[in-house]
Amino acid sequence: MTSKPAANPAESGRYAFDGIDRVLHEKARLGILTSLLAHDGGLVFNELRELCVLTDGNLSRHLQTLQEAQLVEIWKGHKGRRPQTLVRLTDAGRTRFLGYLAVLESIVSGALASAKSDEATAPAERLGFTAG
Amino acid sequence: MTSKPAANPAESGRYAFDGIDRVLHEKARLGILTSLLAHDGGLVFNELRELCVLTDGNLSRHLQTLQEAQLVEIWKGHKGRRPQTLVRLTDAGRTRFLGYLAVLESIVSGALASAKSDEATAPAERLGFTAG
């Protein structure tokens, strides 16, 4: 399991993950942003709702959060005679989301690498601890 | 900036991300679990707090959530004469967290791939929409 030393001062803050912005990280918003990244011309409300399996209310609430953070833009219009809402990533939103994905990628690869290196080490002895 | 079709029925739920468990996904808990994955013999409370830059109260609250989900185990003991709390990933916690990381890895690589393929496509025309 491990013979690694526990945390040392040089590692302080190593797992604070400052690059993880909670506005982008939240599960439903991660789905919305990923959908929009894959559909650069935007998606209408109903398409987004289906892709992300969200209720109208939940999707509206998350879109508002994303709009307030200037990550998405909301357009009102029509498809045929039907009123529709179109959602697109802003340029800033695209840049920020790509930055977030790069951070996430490095966290995941670092975590998986540390798990693999643990497998190769011998168990440590931690004495004096009792279940609580 | 896309010539891709919008969502079709076959894509329904594609971005619901069912494999993202919110218990593991929350930013602070992601940091705690990543720390523990890299220190398989466990970490004492103060080490975790420094690595993740959390207050005592926040760390306690998140550890309780993780313990209730049977992802971590909490041990009471001493280092020298000082009472200490040791936190370790459970075997089930390790398995679930590695599963979560694999899901996250595939989401990130899929998202980055879709962003790259968008860059190669021509702008689409979306008519009839006005800023709102």
Instruction: Give me the pLDDT at residue B46, please.
Output: 95
Averaged pLDDT for residues A89-97: 97
- The yes-or-no verdict on residue A119 having pLDDT over 70 is no
- Residue contact A130–B76, C-beta within 8 A: yes
Range of the domain at A102: 20-118
A43 phi and psi, to 5 degrees? -135, 145
Q: Which chain B residues are closer than 8 Å to A91 by Cβ?
A: none
Q: Which chain A residues are closer than 8 Å to B49 by Cβ?
A: none
ipTM of the complex: 0.79
- The yes-or-no verdict on residue B128 having pLDDT over 70 is no
Instruction: Give me the pLDDT at residue A4, please.
Output: 47
User: A interface mutation test: which of B11, B12, B15 has the most A CBs within 10 A?
Assistant: B15
Instruction: Give me the pLDDT at residue B10, please.
Output: 63
Region of residue B80 (left: phi > 0; alpha: psi -120 to 50; beta: else)? left
Q: Is residue A7 part of a domain?
A: no
Instruction: Give me the pLDDT at residue A117, please.
Output: 75
Instruction: Give me the pLDDT at residue A55, please.
Output: 97
Q: Is residue B11 part of a domain?
A: no
Instruction: Give me the pLDDT at residue A24, please.
Output: 97
Q: Which chain A residues are closer than 8 Å to B85 by Cβ?
A: 132
Q: Is residue A101 part of a domain?
A: yes
Q: How high does pLDDT run on average in chain B? A: 86
Q: Is A29 in contact with A65 (CB distance < 8 Å)? A: yes
Q: Is residue A107 part of a domain?
A: yes
Of residues A50, A75, A108, nearest to B132 (C-beta)? A75
Instruction: Read off the pLDDT of residues B2-33 as tens digits, 9 standing for 90 and up.
Output: 444 454 656 899 999 999 999 999 999 999 99
Q: Which residue has the higher pLDDT, A78 or A14?
A: A14
Averaged pLDDT for residues B72-95: 93
Q: Is residue A129 part of a domain?
A: no
The domain tally of chain A equals 1
Instruction: Give me the pLDDT at residue A129, please.
Output: 58
Task: Determine the distance in angstroms separating the CA of B65 from the nearest CA of chain A, rounded to an integer.
Answer: 16
Instruction: Give me the pLDDT at residue A122, please.
Output: 40
Q: Is residue B51 part of a domain?
A: yes
Instruction: Give me the pLDDT at residue B11, please.
Output: 83
pTM of the model: 0.82
Q: Is residue A70 part of a domain?
A: yes
B19 phi and psi, to 5 degrees? -75, -5
Instruction: Give me the pLDDT at residue A10, please.
Output: 62
Instruction: Read off the pLDDT of residues B62-73 as tens digits, 9 standing for 90 and up.
Output: 999 999 999 999
Of residues B9, B40, B78, nearest to A118 (C-beta)? B40
Instruction: Give me the pLDDT at residue B116, please.
Output: 79
CA-derived radius of gyration, chain B = 21
- The yes-or-no verdict on residue B61 having pLDDT over 90 is yes
CATH number at B93 reads 1.10.10.10
- Residue contact B101–A111, C-beta within 8 A: yes
Confidence of residue B94 (pLDDT cuts 50, 70, 90): very high
Q: Is residue A82 part of a domain?
A: yes
